[in-house]
Copies of this chain bind each other. A is one copy, B any other.
């Protein structure tokens, strides 16, 4: 049983709570029974740590577990996972351009998985998809998706050449494009929306009609659009 916070393993686990170490080590943490089980079934688990002696894993104290946790009510189990490159490409691609909030990114990953957008591209300024809050909000969808951080502008030009149709959201949009197969849906930052640079690459700018409020939460707007795409195939 690990009882000291100065233990090298504990120090290492704490480092994995930071994006720069996750990037350097190619690893990340997931918390709680549901996500550990998802990781075991669909991801690549390196180690499991628990403060509950009835669960399988390396035993650590409640206090250490509490310190590693990010929630008020701490989980009693965590897994160290390796990031795995997925070998599939989806005909429906979601692009998150500078989406900042980890919960929004997580909810969008969950919806992307639900509605068949199995490839997700993150811009360089987008929140990390391996953030513990994002993984929790994704409900494990992260294990079912092909997610990559790329130069999204360069990548979208490549996708256009391959015949993908580019859709952005735009509260000022007037044209309502037909939803086609081989599509790329681009969502923008919570405050600023899709950048002008990205709007310039769009084939269609989509608007969801609303009253009273100027715009919807980005995770909700994006999910409504992915839902609309999923209905085409019904």
Number of copies of this protein chain within its complex? 2
Give complex CA distance A125, B137 in Å: 22
Give complex CA distance A136, B28 in Å: 30
| A170: interface (CB < 8 Å) | no
What interface size band does chain A fall in?
Answer: 20 to 34
1/0 contact string of A107-140 vs chain B (CB within 8 Å): 1001101111000000000000000000001011
Give complex CA distance A79, B209 in Å: 31
Give complex CA distance A223, B215 in Å: 13
| A36: interface (CB < 8 Å) | no
Is there contact, CB below 8 Å, between B213 and A141?
yes
Of all chain B residues, the one with the shortest Cβ separation from A220 is B223
Residues of B within 8 A of A110 (CB): 213, 216-217, 220
Q: Answer whether A210 and B103 are a contact pair too, CB < 8 Å, given A217-B137, A220-B223, A224-B227.
A: no
| A211: interface (CB < 8 Å) | yes
Q: Answer whether A210 and B115 are a contact pair too, CB < 8 Å, given A216-B110, A217-B110, A224-B224.
A: yes
